[in-house]
Amino acid sequence: MRGLVFNAPKDVRVTDVPDPGVVNPTDAVVRVTKAGICGSDMHIYNHGDAFGFDAGCRLGHEFVGVVEAVGPEVRSVKPGDRIVAPFWLSCGECHFCKKGLTTSCVQGGCFGFQAFWGFGGHVEGGQSQFVRVPLADGTLVKVPDELADVDDKVLLPLVDVFTTAYHAAKGSGVKPGQTALVIGDGAVGLLACQAAALLGAGNIVLSGHHDDRLAVGARLGATHTVNSKANADRLGELLGDLTNSFGPDVVIDAISSADSMVHAANTVQPGGTVSWVGMEVFLGAPQLPWDTCFLRNLTIRGGVAPVRSYLPELWPLVISGKLDPSPVLTHDLPLERAAEGYEIMATRAEGSVKVCVSPN
């Protein structure tokens, strides 16, 4: 079959890779119908050698598809079922899975960084025609029958990018009517606006550097958008006007760089929360203003989203039409053109937010 592999920084290729099959009795094999290219894929694309990725590593951890085969112990899905695949393997039965923190699954976690697809080791990449899914019962989620006719592009963001944004919005503790600042106009930032709106936030201020993306954010729920690159002073003025100079109740940091985290901590209102979900912290550690954190009683909360645990509360929103995250998927390419998709995302091409590929 065909699948995408990392060759070297800025060099990914779709090539022939081995057909997957059921190895363990708890495995499933999924025929991928749509796979996303994620911001964390871009970290590998740009810096894969620094992260220890070797040539030949498979990529892709966002995908939806149809079950092709299952091992003898799989009970929750069967061949022909349409599924979504949360981006982290989970057994569904351990201490952390039972608490809903599926990203700390004791079994999924035993792979360490290889607890999800596309990190080169035990687990295959989702940007391919087929994928072997370990721990299928604890990991895969069957799409509700009510959504039989919905487009894959509505479902695909649920396996990572929307749910990561939702995790950030929930983690921020934003309450109805409150003011949220969302930092970053990548797909997670844009969808964090949508998530904050679903949670009832009053003012949702989106800060980014790209007018075209800010426009998508406004469509998804941002009540105010600021191009903070074009107008550095505007954000502070706007937040001051909206909050009686107290600052936003919460900040959702969808960048999580050393700079953005410090900015978030210095901007959020006393007693507020900085909720961060970006992986930029891996590239440079924030030096938080701890005196400010102390004097203002700030909460700093972040982490990798336990997608599977959120799906039960998200399905009704999708079914009712209240949640459609597909506007962030600006490009849909055949799998064979996946490298072009990486290039579009790497260059932040005008009009682009996020690219998906269609392997089948």
Q: Terminus-to-terminus CA distance in the chain, angstroms?
A: 11
**Is residue 291 within the footprint of a second copy (CB under 8 A)?**
yes
Least Å from the CB of residue 310 to a second copy? 13
**CB 71 within 8 Å of CB 22:** yes
User: How many degrees, rounded to 5, is the angle at CA 138 between CA 161 and CA 338?
Assistant: 40
**Is residue 282 within the footprint of a second copy (CB under 8 A)?**
yes
Count, residues near a second copy per rule CB under 8 A: 32
| 306-325 positions binding a second copy, by CB under 8 A | 306
Q: What is the DSSP annotation of 136-154?
A: HHHH-EEPPGGGTTS-HHH
> Quick one: which of 50, 232, 285, 346 contacts a second copy (CB under 8 A)?
285
**Is residue 304 within the footprint of a second copy (CB under 8 A)?**
yes
CA-to-CA separations, 246 to 9, 183, 201, 270, 357, in angstroms, rounded:
44, 18, 16, 8, 44
| 259-278 positions binding a second copy, by CB under 8 A | 270-271
Q: How far apart are CA 81 and CA 312, in angstroms?
A: 17
CA-to-CA separations, 212 to 164, 218, 330, in angstroms, rounded:
22, 10, 11
Least Å from the CB of residue 91 to a second copy? 15
| 232-251 positions binding a second copy, by CB under 8 A | 244, 246
Least Å from the CB of residue 247 to a second copy? 11
**Is residue 95 within the footprint of a second copy (CB under 8 A)?**
yes
> Quick one: which of 118, 157, 286, 359 contacts a second copy (CB under 8 A)?
286
In this chain, which stretch among 20-28, 51-59, 230-238, 293-301 interacts with a second copy, using CB under 8 A? Answer: 293-301
Phi-psi sector, 316: left (phi>0), alpha (psi -120 to 50), beta = alpha
> Quick one: which of 75, 290, 334, 350 contacts a second copy (CB under 8 A)?
290
Q: Report the residue count for the chain.
A: 360
Contacts with a second copy by CB under 8 A lie at 95-96, 99, 101, 103-104, 244, 246, 270-271, 279, 281-282, 285-288, 290-291, 293-304, 306
